[in-house]
Chain A
């Protein structure tokens, strides 16, 4: 891509234009610029003059940016509805991941330890390790992966940190206070698994919860400094 379009790309992304529309626009502008340059060279201009004339004919970066930004239909959903992308969306994804994780816990309990009163006790081996491991990955990894995803979306679309921070804090809070319960009311009856949220009553409970929340938050935002560094590096280039 021609160098001048780097600035235009940043301008468009910061204005909320969806990355796929920005990419397509800049690709076509690059092709158009190449055609204009060739035309100017055929008209007898030197390479540098041809490039300069071609850029002038293409339009100023302000005009090119405004033409795209004015078309509101090309705005990304993160710009149009950040509350949905960084609030509602991650919550739905987390709910889905936890539903699957709880199903794995419940079904693994019935399959691998049908006689046990709870799936949280006893040694497991073989396929059970893999099966329950997948459930644990979804349950514990879900909030963290969602935080990473929000960071990637925010960095890709040059968003300010407000909504991603709100989103990841909300996810960390929910993940920190969530508790899984499993019990079998009486022997021979199918056990059940449930998810609850508890803030705790004692100072020790609350400080433990806060610690959990902070750990999840720290892990969820782990790649953010790297993403910011990459963005700064690409801007400097």
Chain B
């Protein structure tokens, strides 16, 4: 994740989607989330690791996440978990991105336009 160029506009909404997807499975703290994104996307998705926190805090403020402090191995960590509103947001974002990815894939492989969006 070091020194990789990203397109902020195109990446808009991607960190939220990935974070919500990961946290829908289990609660995690920031470092865990970033490592999970890195391994889950084979380091294709490039974000500075620290910038995950404003996204987490923003989602929490929107009511999509909750946080709690937990002591693990002598260290206090902030764990995040998805709320009911967060699950709904994940479903919406997933649908949008699935449609978009399908459409782009279709265009790249030269398929019929009508088949692109399900």
Contact = CB atoms under 8 A, between A and B. Distances in A.
Contacts of A67: 48, 50-51, 53-55
A31 B50 contact: no
A64 B48 contact: yes
The dominant DSSP class at the B interface is helix
Contacts of A64: 48, 50-51
Contacts of B55: 67
Contacts of A56: 2-3
B104 interface: no
A73 B54 CA distance: 10
A56 B1 CA distance: 9
Interface residues of A, number: 22
B30 interface: yes
A83 interface: no
B71 to A, nearest CB: 12
B31 interface: yes
A31 B75 contact: yes
A32 B54 CA distance: 13
Interface stretch (A21-29, A84-92, A142-150, A162-170): A21-29
B27 to A, nearest CB: 15
Interface in B1-55: 1-3, 29-31, 34, 47-51, 53-55
Contacts of B48: 57-60, 63-64, 67
A58 B53 CA distance: 11
B61 A73 contact: yes
Contacts of B3: 56
A83 B101 CA distance: 46
B1 to A, nearest CB: 6
A21 B31 contact: no
Q: Counting chain B CB atoms within 10 Å of each CB, which of A35, A36, A63, A71 scores highest?
A: A35
Given A31-B78, A57-B49, A67-B55, 5 more contacts: A25-B57, A31-B29, A35-B31, A67-B50, A74-B58
Interface of A: 21, 24-25, 28-29, 31-32, 35-36, 56-60, 63-64, 67-68, 70-71, 73-74
